[in-house]
Structure 1
């Protein structure tokens, strides 16, 4: 039986960072759903499609192919065959992804691909609605969160380390706005699944979060 681990939570909670390390340590396949949504958002931006143009978005979804592969231990996101790893982590792309993820056509296309992956492999998948919508039967569900101030500080440190100028107050404002959008959208809003374990990482470092997650997974799988 394949083991599926669903990690949900708000923007900036560290889901992707933790999920990647967890997958590597457990030898599971990491499915970066956020990267898939970002890749689709990047396609729309690249082609001058506005986030409010639902009709156009619906019509071009069929032309978009997004694949995740692993090369030399690194995840590679392919958008219609092009490696877009270095293009989809910009703030503007993240904000666009949050806006277009409300459209059923966008979600249906990506959810189908994500479920197919989960049927074939032991996977760790992170996002906003993995435990509630994408993998409702996942054996392990974790809702990872942290205060908006903690999440803003982490993002600020990450951007500064890359030599980018940024304002922590603006970052926190963006995070709060993203939370509001994600929690109040009509389609698959961000929420904690009833059977998910809540894990607040505000006062934990990465190793501490990893340790807690491995304990949770072990308890769920071997209960």
Structure 2
């Protein structure tokens, strides 16, 4: 018995370059399921911080790995009809707001660099894509999680542009942060992402490269939809 293979659109790129925004827009337009892989790593980071597993000089990797392997860390997504987006659940609790905090951003790179964390979450991501067509964003989706994805996109933007976007987002949420701290956190995340030994951030050879430093979201979406038609992805006008 053969099983239907659902299409996958893989979006990779640097921190705060709008991967999630684009992924949500494409998923809505194409009627695909959006999977926020970054939220998965942030949820694991929140669990680790809440349970005092992250320290300045080290991470309690033995305990964290045991928690992942024994089902103490359960990650799910719940659709919010009012916001028209999926929200992250950690062990049944909605943590969408908590995982966007600055302290999570400062630690998630260290957690995401752990091979056993990546292995556990990649398995979860692959299982999800067997059930429906998906748009998935992250840092190794097109190079490792789904190297055979029907369409691969790599987003980037200048660091200062990305930091400004992130800074405004945090300020609008009432967070007390400085642009300097946000830029430093972003640059450190870039360094960790590109230098980690396990599946570092890089552009897949067949990925569509888009620098969105100087274009708006509508222009970005239009450009991607036009390109998707060349990849035999059915694109309907709205």
Give the TM bin, normalised by the shorter chain: over 0.9
CA deviations over 1:73-117 (Å, ceiling 9, x no partner): 331211111111121101211222211112222111111111111
Of 125, 140, 153 in structure 2, the residue corresponding to residue 142 of structure 1 is 153
Mapped pair 1:196 → 2:203:
no
Gaps of 5+ in 1: none
Which stretches of structure 1, 4 residues or more, deviate above 6 A after TM superposition? none
**What is the Cα deviation at residue 169 of structure 1?**
2.2
Counterpart-to-counterpart distance in 2, 1:112 and 1:176: 28
Aligned to 2:66: 59
Mapped pair 1:27 → 2:31:
yes
Instruction: Give the SS at the match of 2:98.
Output: coil
Q: TM-score w.r.t. structure 2 length? A: 0.89
Instruction: Give the SS at the match of 2:198.
Output: coil
Counterpart-to-counterpart distance in 2, 1:222 and 1:75: 23
Counterpart-to-counterpart distance in 2, 1:80 and 1:159: 25
Paired residues in the alignment total: 223
Counterpart-to-counterpart distance in 2, 1:140 and 1:15: 14
Higher alpha-carbon deviation: 160-169 or 178-187: 160-169
Mapped pair 1:206 → 2:214:
no
Aligned to 1:16: 20
Of 6, 19, 23 in structure 1, the residue corresponding to residue 10 of structure 2 is 6
Of 100, 109, 134 in structure 2, the residue corresponding to residue 123 of structure 1 is 134
Aligned to 2:113: 102
Q: Is the 8 A contact 2:105 2:185 kept in 1?
A: no
Higher alpha-carbon deviation: 103-112 or 122-131: 103-112
Q: Is the 8 A contact 2:113 2:198 kept in 1?
A: yes
CA deviations over 1:141-172 (Å, ceiling 9, x no partner): 00000000110111122122223333222211
> Structure 1 residues 213, 89: CA separation in 2 closer, same or farther (over 3 Å shift)?
same
Q: TM-score w.r.t. structure 1 length? A: 0.95
Q: Is the 8 A contact 2:113 2:192 kept in 1?
A: no
